[in-house]
Homo-oligomer: A and B are copies of this chain.
Amino acid sequence: MPGSIFGQSFKISTFGESHGGAVGVVIDGVTPGLPITVEEVQAELDRRKPGQSDITTPRQETDEVHFMSGVFEGKATGTPILMIIYNKDARPSAYNDIKDLFRPGHADFTFDAKFGIRDYRGSGRASGRETAGRVAAGAVAKKMLQKHDINITAYVKAAGGIECKTINFDEIENNIVRAADPEAAKKIVERILEVKEQKNSIGGVVECRVTGVPAGWGDPVFDKLDADLAKGMMSLGAVKGFEVGSGFKCAEMTGIEHNDWMNEDGFETNNAGGILGGISNGNEIVFRLAVKPTSSIEAPQDTVNKDGKAVKCITEGRHDPIICPRIVPVVEAMTAIVLADHMKRQAALHA
């Protein structure tokens, strides 16, 4: 059944495989009159695109976005916007030797089990390249959220066992790993180059912080704001966990420690992570996600082929030794998409 449409009042419908004709998105429900330029969307896509540094895949894609509908004289008309990114550096033939085997950590086996057919070229629809459409839609969502002066910032909190000691937003784009602490960033880069050398990869933790969300967004009991954020984040490939505010630490806390007391200036603490009872409380929204190590590694691995026979798998090709830096703009995009939807939902509730 269809799984490539997301949202209720603001809907995105993404499409595209890694080595097909194009990837992209149809965005439905954009506020009419919203000024939106190709450059604004391109700027977000550039943060996600491959080939940015030594720790990202060398695949060469300019990821140039084209608007095909829904924007007229620089403004959204309120009708669906098709944003399309043609695949340029597709090398389908490079995948011939993996088409009949199941690469460990990849969705090869499960796509076959589900669909009975699979576009094996560069993981097809299961490729991280799918997220380009999300990032394009997220750029539009971010613009829509400006009426509330909402700021969304994601960054690498930890990777390869090295954690940021400080959180400095200004440092994030100053290092290739997008860590919020320059000291940690340095160590993480070293660690990444080390595992890359070993034909290996590493995982990490990405944190996202959002300011400016007014109290009142989120729809209990199922469409709670944190439930929808969790779904949005867990729908990203490679994400194995999601937590908001205190997160898993809450399991070791007592009620007295965990409850955020209020005084005349607002909340004294933020264990809630800005979401209480599934509804934004006006505080900074803070959540984290666990990102697994890149599945594609050049080290030889055991697996089986379509006939169930044991084979060796060596994933040559062009891969990122760590997913975290490039997932950062995707996390921001999905956050914006969820928030834009709930902004509209809250307006509908009171209409």
Contacts and interface: CB of A to CB of B under 8 A. Distances in A.
Interface string A234-247: 11010011111111
User: Which among A114, A247, A258 has the highest number of chain B CB atoms within 10 Å?
Assistant: A114
A2 B6 contact: no
B243 A350 contact: no
Interface string A56-99: 00000000001111101001111111101000000000000000
A4 interface: yes
A227 B235 contact: yes
8 contacts: A11-B13, A16-B82, A110-B280, A113-B282, A227-B231, A237-B278, A243-B290, A246-B292
Given A109-B276, A114-B218, A255-B202, A348 B9 contact: yes
Given A102-B262, A115-B78, A282-B113, A256 B351 contact: no
Given A114-B215, A262-B302, A221 B14 contact: yes
A222 B6 contact: yes
A115 B32 contact: yes
A273 interface: yes
B125 A21 contact: no
A230 interface: yes
B106 A277 contact: yes
A102 B247 CA distance: 22
A283 to B, nearest CB: 10
Contacts of A247: 240-241, 290
A122 interface: no
A251 B205 contact: yes
Given A32-B116, A251-B290, A254-B202, A10 B15 contact: no
A9 B2 contact: yes
Interface stretch (A41-49, A172-180, A293-301): A293-301
